[in-house]
Structure 1
Amino acid sequence: MLDEKTAQNAMQIILHAGDARVHCMNALKAIENSNFTEAKEEMKRANDEIVKAHRIQTNTISAETQGEAGDYSVLFAHAQDTLMTIYSEINIAKRMIKIFETFDARLAKLEQKEKEDGHE
């Protein structure tokens, strides 16, 4: 049977990771609208939440390595899987912001050049 502390930790990891996913998805929506400032703000919020989830995971694992009893838990394994999946999504979204910022800047430069050359 799963002890209450492990169950609470698992649920907190899932909660914070889920909140991180919401912010990450909001950032992707902002990227769609070329709103990179909002995207970066959402990614900061996503990062804050994923750090909270990671700390809970680390503290739980550290406690077990220091001798606290820790039985295998499907719920905790699910929480870890959720954490790592969303962490990967965050990393991809961060790269997408950089890619689309670069693309947007290059496109703006081309449009400006066309204006200057009289090709409006």
Structure 2
Amino acid sequence: MADGFSAIYERLKQAVQELPDIVETTSYGTPALKAGKKLLTRVKDAETAVVMCPVDEKEMLLQAAPDIYFETDHYKGWPALLVRMNAVSDDELRHRLERTWLTQVPKTKARAWLVEREKASSR
């Protein structure tokens, strides 16, 4: 794995470390993380990650934070967002991947995780 790829992949893994059932794999020949069998994120290149994202939310993010999020023609109309890894904070990356995870897992698993997280934060 190229050095830039390794650094990005390590940040992605760090961002999802508190999420259950994360699977390390590859997608299109690059390191990737899945929630079970569903793609959460993958390394696109030495500066960019692909994060799955509902299209309506994607449009909002593209307008709200164009310095962080972007798309190429290849991704137009698809529920995937490109992330400039040198521009995204660790907190924003973790938040984005948590939101993605919540859309990719069964609703019962998502609800259970949210309840547990709420309990842990109120202790």
Tell me, yes or no, whether TM beats 0.5: no
| Larger relative contact order, structure 1 or 2 (CA cutoff 8 Å, min sep 6) | 1
When the two structures are superposed, what TM-score results if normalisation uses the length of structure 1?
0.25
- Structure number with greater Rg is 1
- Bigger strand share: 2
When the two structures are superposed, what TM-score results if normalisation uses the length of structure 2?
0.24
